[in-house]
Structures are given as structure tokens and as C-alpha cells.
Amino acid sequence: MPKDPARGDGPVVRHDRDDARYVRRGPESPAATPTATPVDEPRATAGTAGSPAVGTAAGAPPGGAVPAAKRAARRPGRAVPIALIAVAALLLLALAAFATTLIVVSQQAEGNPFRDRALFVDPDSNAARAAEGSGSDEQREAAARIAASPTAIWLTPERVLPGTASATVADTVAQAEAAGALPVFVVYGITDRDCGGFSSGGLPRDEYLDWVDEIADGLGDRRSIVVLEPDSLALASECPDPDARTALVRSALARFSGTGAAVYLDGGHSAWLPAAAMAESLRAAGVDEARGFATNVSNAQATDDEAAYAARVSEALGGAHAIIDTSRNGAGPPADGEWCNAPGLALGEEPHALDDRVVDAVLWVKPPGESDGTCNGGPPAGTWWPEQAVELVANADRLAGGS
Ligand code: BGC
């Protein structure tokens, strides 16, 4: 199957200056941001129903009356014991607070699918092959540098043909398992994928769901991560039938139940849809059945902005978790808002798990060095582009060197 058919690479280019991803949006209006309602605080501190009222001494006789002899026996005689009791009480309070913190932290870590596992580094990535290829020394060095870090493995129907997906995915999962590592997959083959953009393609509805079934079958019950259909929801309003699209994402998500995959739907990024709208769309696509959502995929918004955005989306959803793509956000987004093979980008923070209430990990979801499409001098979407790899590495080095 030809990759990125002419429809996406030719004149039918929807990502013109009206495209949402070109537009550098201002901060969201306050109205768009849901009001913060701290859910846990009151519950964490209030006593449970039926627990003794504050100040009631356990074991006090009914009515609270304490015989005079006992009162006298309990009355501290000197100032020093009072001070000691106060210090002891403070210590107990501090200990309780510390224990609560430990419990909360370990609960977060427990649910985080990135815990306890290194991320899988695919020995057969485009970058790994380019590192052994025929480029200049500089190009091979840049490729080797990128190939050494874990990046997501994109499953497209062009590369992983229907009928072969189960075996291909099972093979990768087995490799990862043997390495004691966690593989991250991106499933990218939805009907009318990219809605006329550079990555146009995808499978008809029924074939698509069969293909997703194959992928789920290949994953089995071993631990893995799936980022489901980048852009599909945030872009939906620009596609012919947004509701059908959302329903299809929901059906695809359901195919992963019973597998060992932690699934993240795509949640756009901080300069695209307002958090409340994104949350609504994620909810309609069934995010409650997923681990959460991914932000910044193939984009370059700053990590702090993405974390703040993810927190707002998560809050609107009642606590969904997130991952952030940091593959090329080291220099932040370009001033003109360009998203497609934008010049001046830099590799971002290396992938790793976080111990955070919302963000499970920062990842390199879009493999750095792979083109976004035939824009800004790049080759077709997904193709290795040595010049871009060199630039991303050089800019990251420059930033790290402080120049
Ligand atoms: C392309 C895919 C590619 C992915 C990662 C997308 O834009 O359409 O073919 O696998 O980027 O580079």
C-alpha cells in the first residue's frame, strides 16, 4: 500500500493557515477553563461518618462525665509535662502527615503503567537504520543519538498490513518482554486519517476495527502502552462526520479491554482546543475506559504548558491520567505557530516516568527525525529526514550548552 497517498501530499492540503495547528492561540478564556473544585482535600481531612466527634475522648463514660478522682489523676501536675505532651502531639501530627503522603505517593505509583520498567528501545527504528546507513558522519551521529532513546512504534496500515498486524505486534511485545522493557505503540490507521492532511489514509470502518482487533490480539495480556489515533479527536470538527469519528475511536478503544495495554486517547495540545472542549470530546470517546490521554503528539509546546493543560483536562474528566510528547519541544513552539516540520526545534526532555498525580510520563511519541509531511522541504510524512535529525540534535546541544 502506498504510503501517504497523493491526496495528502498533493494539492489537497488542509493544513493551510486556517488549520487549527497553525494558529497560535492565546491563552484560553477563563470561561473555557473549568472552575477548580478540589475533590480530595475535604474528604482527606474530614472524619468518616460515624467516627467520634473531634475532642471526644475514647472510652469516656456516656454523657462525658468523668469522676473527680479520675479527672485529678489525669490532670498534668506541672508545666514541663504539658510541654512534653504538646511536643509529642506535634510529632504525632507530623508523623501522620508523612504517612499520608507516603500512602498517596505509593497509590499514584501503583497505578502508573510506566512504573518499574524501562522503556523499550526499538532496534529496528528508522533512526537505528539511519545510524548504520550511508549518510554523513554528522547525520549518522544524530541518528545514533536519537536511536539510543526509546521512541514510540507507530502502527500504520501502510507499514503493518492488515493480516500481518497480530504477528508483527506480538513479535515486538516479545522482544520488549525479553528485554524487561515496556513497548509504546501508536495506533494510526483510523478511517479518513488526518482528514485530508499530510498523513491522509486509513482503513474503511470495518477493516479498521478488524485491524485493531489484530493489534489487540498481538498485544495479549503483556504490559504495553497504546497511544490511540493522534489528532483524531482534536481534529474531528474539521472532518466530515465528527460524531462518527468519535464513535469509531470509542469502538477501537473497547477492542483493547482485556489486553495488558494502558491506553491513552489523543488530547491535542495546550495551544489547540480549550481544555473543557477537549475533555468533552475525550469523554465522548470513552476516556473513562482508558488510562487517560496524550498531549503534544508531534507538536512542540513547552512541557510546563502541557502539564498545566493536562491537569485542566484531567480535572474536567475527574482524574484521567496523561502522557506528554517531548520528542521535539526542547526549544518550545516556533513563534509563528508552525507545526509542520517547523525549523528551529530541538529534542526535548528524555522519556521517563513521573510520580505525578496527572502526568504518568514524558515520552518521545513522534520519533524525532521523521518528517511531518511534504512541508517546509520535508519528505512524505513518516520518512526519515537526516537534515531534521541533525537540526534537532544540534539545537538541543546548543540549548544544553547555554548558547
Ligand atoms: C505519519 C506516519 C508516521 C508517523 C511517525 C505520521 O505523521 O503519517 O506514517 O509513522 O508520523 O513519524
Active site residue 372: yes
Q: Can you give the pLDDT at residue 56?
A: 27
Say yes or no to pLDDT of 87 above 70: no
pLDDT tens by residue, 370-381: 999 999 999 999
pLDDT band for position 94 (cuts 50, 70, 90) = low
Pocket test for ligand 1, best of 153, 370, 371, 385 (most atoms within 8 A of CB): 370
Ligand 1 contact, 199 CB (< 6 A): yes
Please compute the mean of the pLDDT values over residues 300-326 and round it to a whole number: 98
pLDDT tens by residue, 52-63: 222 223 333 333
Fold category of 113-401 in CATH: TIM Barrel (3.20.20)
> Is beta strand 261-266 parallel, antiparallel or unpaired with respect to 292-295?
parallel
Q: Can you give the pLDDT at residue 145?
A: 98
Cell of 261: 495495554
pLDDT band for position 246 (cuts 50, 70, 90) = very high
Q: Is 275 helix (H, G, I), strand (E, B) or coil?
A: helix
Which atom of ligand 1 is closest in space to residue 371's alpha carbon?
A: 12
Q: Measure the CA–CA gap between 209 and 202, rounded to whole angstroms.
A: 11
Q: Is 35 helix (H, G, I), strand (E, B) or coil?
A: coil
Pocket test for ligand 1, best of 185, 195, 199, 229 (most atoms within 8 A of CB): 199
Centroid of ligand 1 to alpha carbon of 206 (angstroms)? 22
* Identity of the highest mean pLDDT range in 15-29, 31-45, 155-169: 155-169
Q: Can you give the pLDDT at residue 26?
A: 30
Are the C-beta atoms of 387 and 343 separated by less than 8 Å? no
Q: What is the DSSP string of 323-345?
A: EEE-TTBTT-S-TT---SS-TT-
pLDDT band for position 67 (cuts 50, 70, 90) = very low
Are the C-beta atoms of 360 and 112 separated by less than 8 Å? yes
pLDDT tens by residue, 256-301: 999 999 999 999 999 999 999 999 999 999 999 999 999 999 999 9
Ligand 1 contact, 382 CB (< 6 A): yes
Write down the pTM of the prediction. 0.76
pLDDT tens by residue, 97-109: 555 444 444 444 4
Active site residue 194: yes
Q: Which of 231, 266, 305, 360 is catalytic?
A: 231
Please compute the mean of the pLDDT values over residues 318-341 and round it to a whole number: 97
Q: Can you give the pLDDT at residue 112?
A: 97
Please compute the mean of the pLDDT values over residues 307-320 and round it to a whole number: 98
Angle, vertex CA 373, rays to CA 334 and CA 340, nearest 5: 10
Scored b (16 or more CB within 10 A) or e, 106-139 reads eebeeebbbeebebbbbeebbbbebbeeebeeeb
Q: Can you give the pLDDT at residue 45?
A: 25
Which atom of ligand 1 is closest in space to residue 154's alpha carbon?
A: 10
Centroid of ligand 1 to alpha carbon of 381 (angstroms)? 5
- How buried is residue 55: exposed, middle or buried, by Cβ count under 10 Å (0-12/13-18/19+)? exposed
Q: Can you give the pLDDT at residue 108?
A: 46
Are the C-beta atoms of 323 and 292 separated by less than 8 Å? yes
pLDDT band for position 15 (cuts 50, 70, 90) = very low
Ligand 1 contact, 372 CB (< 6 A): yes
Say yes or no to pLDDT of 28 above 60: no
